[in-house]
Every structure is written in structure tokens, then in C-alpha cells.
Amino acid sequence: MGYGLIVNTPGLYYKALSSDLGVSRTQIALTSTIMNLTGAATMLFSGKLMKRVDSRLLLSVCIGVCAIIFFCQSFFTSLWQFYVSFALIGVAYVIPITLAPSVLLSNWFEQQLGLVMGVALGLSGLGGMVFNPVVSSWIANLGWRPAYRMTALLLAVCILPFSIFVLRFMPNPAKGETMYEASPASAEADAGSNAPKGELQDPSSIPGIEAKKAYRTPTFMLLIACYVLLQWATGMVQHVSGYEQSRGLTLQEGAFAVSGIMLGAAIGKATIGILLDRLKTELVLALYSVVGLAGWALMMFLVTPTPAAISGFLAGLGQGVLLVALPWLARQSFGQRDYAEILSILTMSGVLSVALANTINGTIFDLAGSYIPALAINVICYVLALAAAIAAYRLRPLRE
């Protein structure tokens, strides 16, 4: 729900805000860029922060802040207010929405990690699929101000109970908790932990590569390249609704195409996780990358609502590489020890990329009157990212 409401729906407001505030599409798209830039800055220290602050407090405060800001946005009347508010959302959302799912799952699951990452992260795509038509309906029928208030209410009511009472950073050995199907090394590390309240462990007792050493490996640099390229492609998602409207479709029909992306992302993330645990890694990476680039390519030519949604569905399937395969590759390459810190830096590079892509894609539209060049760039990004991902896997420091 958090991913669907915070990350996937801001683009639906672009046209309404642009009209009401009397500003260009590029100026509105800059809100997402600002959000991603402050999110990227937060990623520099978020991995360490997650290891030091009780997860219940940290995640709950972040979600609460996002809900309050969305509610306040319903009263805004100037563009600068949106710039400031999205800067604050960027600081708050990245830990619970972007980083925490992969980190928490990595801490709780030794085996079947690809499966549980795929299922859990796949639900983020399902959230986008559900909330894109819902939020677009609110905007069309009620206006953008009530839509922001409804978003704030859903975030608070549906997420806070879980962040406060359910989520934990890692197993508590004092309560007899261990990772799912833990290896002997991981079980021994759990047993020897002297962590306060079961939230932390002595890092030296956890299997894996120290973050400082991981940063100097070719695999890490190749994964950085993958995140930059694939997040650039993701930066087009916020513009898909506007792209379809520029070709004559309605807001709801444009949201339908975005929902196709979200449905594809949900299925892509769930299935790629299962396949990564069972098939040759290079084959899985190639399959989903080719499907993803095909979706963005077809979007240039398919105009009517249903074919547009189908091309969006294929583009969404390809997102499984970014949101499941790359975190999985990082875990396989560097182990559990400093996974939160390593993943936070990798994610930061991608967030910076999508921040630039959001604004540049809007500028492309303003200058060229079309999003076609941006879609062509997405196809190239997938080709380059596939080559980098395969090389990263073959050069990984840790081997089975």
C-alpha cells in the first residue's frame, strides 16, 4: 500500500496541479525529482540507521510523517509548498518503503529468499495497480485536494498498525527465534548475539563481506550501473498517464495503462523471485529484461486503451529485475553482514537516477511535444542493464 500510494500515484496529479497552479508539466514533475533527491541523500545513512534504531519506532515515524504531509498538501495553493513537502516525503518514505522490505526479509530468511522477496515486493506492484484507478477516480470525481486527504487516511490506518506491532528488524535469539531454514553459520551467529532487545547483532558474528570491502569490488560497481539504468526507465512511469492523454486517451484510460504496468510489476516481481531460486540466474535476468524492453518499445506504437495497457503490463514485468533481482544479487554477492548499508548505497544511486529521469522526461515532452524519445531511451537502458547484471553475477565475491 505504501509503495502504491507514495511512489506510483504522484504522476496522476500532474495534469490537475499544472492546470490549477498555472505551471508547466516540467515544473510539476520537479516535485518527484526533489522527492527522489532528498530520498537519495537519506539513503547515505539509512542503512546504518536501521541497524541502530528500533524498527517499530523508525518505520512508524516515517509512515506517520508521510501521512501528515499528504493531508497538508490538500490545502496548498503554491508550487513552492509542494516542493518543500515532497522534499520531506523523500526523507521519510525511503526507509520503510524502499529499503526496509528487502533488508527485513534478508534478515529473516536464509533459504527461499528469492521467493519471499518476490511475493512481498510483488504486492507493491499490486498496490500500484489498485490505487492508480482509485486515485485517478478520486481526482476526476472529487478533485485533487480530497484525493490527497484520502491518501493520508489510508497510509495511517492501513500501515501504522503493522509498523508498530508486527515488524521486527531481525530474529531475537532470546525468544528462540532464528532465520527461516538458517544455515549452521547463521544459526551460530544468532545464538552468539548479544543484541539489545533482539534488534541488533555484533556485526563480526554475521556471515558476509564488510561494506567497505564490498564497495571496491567490480560487482558493486556493475550493480550501481544496473540501478542507474533501470531506475532511469522507471522514471517514465510517472509520465505514462500524461503520455496516453497526449495521444487522446482520458485520465482514466491513462491510469488503466499505468495499472497495466503495476499488474505486470506485481506478477513480474513475484515470479522472478521464484525463478531465481530455481533456474539459472543469467537466463532469468535475460528473460525479464527482454520482456521489459519489449513493453517500452511497444508503448511507442500501441495507442488504443487495451493494447496500451498490454504494453504497460510487459514493461511492468521487466521491473522485477530492478526491484527483486538486483537486491537478491546484492545479497548473494555480499552476504548478510552489511547488507542494509550496501543496499542503501545501491538504492541511492537508483533514486538519484529516477530523480533526474522524472524531470528530464518532462522536459523532453515540453521541448519535443512527445514522450517517444524517452521511451526509446528506456529500451537502450534495459539492454545495457542486462549486460551489467550478468557480469555482476559472474564476478560476485561470494560463491555457493
Res 399: pLDDT: 61
Q: What integer best gives the mean pLDDT of the chain? A: 85
**pTM for the whole thing?**
0.75
Q: 85 or 202: which carries more pLDDT confidence?
A: 85
CA angle (397 as vertex; 51, 168 as ends), nearest 5:
20
Q: 338 lies in a domain? A: yes
pLDDT at position 125: 65
The C-alpha torsion from 202 through 94 and 321 to 272, rounded to 10°, is 70
Kindly report the CATH number assigned to the domain that includes residue 389. Answer: 1.20.1250.20
281 within domain boundaries: yes
**For residue 263, what pLDDT is reported?**
85
C-alpha cell at 277: 531460486
The pLDDT value recorded for residue 121 is: 78
CB neighbour class for 293 (10 Å; exposed up to 12, middle 13-18, buried from 19): buried
Closest CA to 294 of 203, 174, 218, 383: 383
What pLDDT is attached to residue 294?
95
pLDDT, mean of residues 340-349: 88
- Residue 232 CB coordination number (10 Å): 24
Residue 178 falls inside a structural domain: no
In a domain, residue 188? The reply is no
In a domain, residue 70? The reply is yes
Indicate whether 180 belongs to any domain.
no
pLDDT at 267 over 80: yes
Residue 185 maps to a domain: no
Q: How many domains does the chain have?
A: 1
pLDDT per residue as tens digits for the range 168-200: 888 888 888 888 876 655 555 555 444 434 454
Structure confidence at residue 186 (pLDDT): 55
pLDDT at 301: 86
Work out the percent of the chain whose per-residue pLDDT is above 70: 93
Domain of 137 in residue numbering reads as 2-168+198-394
267 or 197, higher pLDDT: 267
Report how far apart, in Å, the C-alpha atoms of 222 and of each of 210, 212, 323 are: 18, 16, 16
Considering the domain boundaries, does residue 189 fall inside one? no
Lowest mean pLDDT among 207-211, 252-256, 288-292: 252-256
pLDDT in tens, 281-293: 999 999 999 999 9
299 Cα distance to chain centroid: 22
Query: Is the confidence at residue 100, as pLDDT, over 70?
Result: yes
**Contact between residue 55 and residue 168 where contact means Cβ atoms under 8 Å apart:** yes
* Cα 148 to chain centroid, rounded: 21
Which pLDDT score is estimated for 54? 87
> In which band, very low, low, confident or very high, does the pLDDT at 333 lie, cut at 50, 70 and 90?
very high
Please tell me which of 51-60, 213-222, 228-237, 361-370 the model is most confident about, judged by mean pLDDT: 213-222
Q: How many CB atoms lie within 10 A of CB 159?
A: 22
